């Protein structure tokens, strides 16, 4: 009888401690499905979600380039699908931002060092110049290459966030987005191979034409 009373008292004590911890937010709670503000986990989620928000925001406008460049049908379809996926994840991030913010996870933080941010901006400007001002074949090639990098990065960010996310629903959603962008990345790589081979063939044909022209000029002399 005394043993049963002691077990009951211990169970009550454990329950009280868990409630106190949950209310205080200062210690681990096995039933908690949200990060603790100020914790290392909350900081890691802040960095990851902030990077994802920034990149998804950029990719949600990628289809606008077709307003000024007349791309091949496959490239245009790819950009449309990437833009749609980015808008989808961007909307979802907006939906969960309030709940995460209340638990110390912010989505508007730039976790990149200053020099790395400068380098990224420099690369982005150089890429944009080639896409908007270069020959259409090279523009397509660079655009597909940029999308291969972007979709791979988004897939990796989603997978990484899913690995540290404590909320089951958000973790499952992130895994689905990771798979979706990985599939888009595979399309980019396949198209990149085709466009790269086409570009090499065109360059080779131009070289052969120049050689023929030089030979004809020498014969006339």
pLDDT tens-place string over residues 58-99: 999 999 988 888 888 899 999 999 999 999 999 999 999 999
Q: Are residues 136 and 102 in the same domain?
A: yes
Q: Are residues 72 and 156 in the same domain?
A: yes
Q: Are residues 84 and 98 in the same domain?
A: yes
Identify which of 138, 127, 56 has the alpha carbon closest to the alpha carbon of residue 92: 56
Q: Are residues 1 and 74 in the same domain?
A: no
Q: Are residues 98 and 132 in the same domain?
A: yes
| pLDDT (tens digit per residue) in 185-207 | 999 999 998 866 666 556 555 65
What is the average pLDDT score of the chain?
82
Please state, in angstroms and as integers, the Cα–Cα distance from residue 130 to each residue in 78, 145, 199, following that order. Answer: 19, 12, 15
Bigger pLDDT: 27 vs 51: 51
**Total of domains in the chain:** 2
Residue identified by tokens 């089951």 is 168
**DSSP code of 39?**
S
149: left (phi > 0), else alpha (psi -120 to 50), else beta?
alpha
Q: Residue 13: which domain range? A: 1-32
Q: Are residues 40 and 128 in the same domain?
A: yes
Please state, in angstroms and as integers, the Cα–Cα distance from residue 54 to each residue in 19, 87, 136, 188, following that order. Answer: 37, 12, 28, 21
Q: Are residues 19 and 105 in the same domain?
A: no
Backbone angles phi, psi at 30, to 5 degrees: -65, -20
Q: Are residues 203 and 149 in the same domain?
A: yes
Q: Are residues 110 and 134 in the same domain?
A: yes
- Predicted confidence (pLDDT) at residue 136 exceeds the cutoff of 90: no
Q: Are residues 6 and 77 in the same domain?
A: no
| Amino acid 86: pLDDT | 97
Please state, in angstroms and as integers, the Cα–Cα distance from residue 128 to each residue in 67, 121, 138, following that order. Answer: 14, 10, 12
- Predicted confidence (pLDDT) at residue 34 exceeds the cutoff of 60: yes
CB atoms within 10 A of CB 29: 18
| Amino acid 187: pLDDT | 95
Q: Are residues 99 and 1 in the same domain?
A: no
Q: Are residues 26 and 70 in the same domain?
A: no
Count of residues in the chain:
221
CATH for 72: 1.20.1260.10
């Amino acid at each position: 009888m005394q043993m049963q009373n002691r077990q009951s008292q211990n169970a009550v004590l454990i329950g009280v401690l868990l409630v106190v911890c949950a209310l205080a937010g200062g210690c681990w709670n096995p039933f908690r499905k949200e990060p603790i503000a100020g914790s290392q986990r909350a900081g890691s989620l802040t960095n990851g979600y902030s990077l994802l928000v920034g990149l998804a925001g950029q990719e949600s406008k990628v289809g606008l380039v077709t307003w000024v460049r007349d791309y091949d049908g496959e490239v245009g379809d790819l950009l449309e699908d990437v833009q749609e996926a980015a808008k989808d994840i961007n909307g979802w991030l907006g939906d969960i931002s309030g709940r995460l913010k209340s638990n110390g996870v912010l989505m508007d933080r730039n976790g990149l060092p200053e020099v790395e941010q400068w380098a990224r901006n420099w690369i982005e400007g150089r890429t944009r110049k080639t896409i908007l001002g270069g020959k259409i074949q090279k523009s397509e090639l660079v655009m597909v290459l940029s999308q291969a990098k972007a979709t791979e990065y988004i897939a990796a960010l989603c997978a990484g966030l899913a690995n540290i996310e404590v909320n089951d629903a958000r973790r499952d959603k992130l895994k689905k987005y990771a798979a979706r962008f990985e599939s888009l990345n595979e399309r980019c790589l396949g198209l990149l191979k085709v466009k790269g081979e086409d570009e090499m063939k065109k360059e080779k044909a131009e070289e052969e034409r120049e050689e023929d022209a030089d030979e004809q000029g020498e014969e006339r002399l």
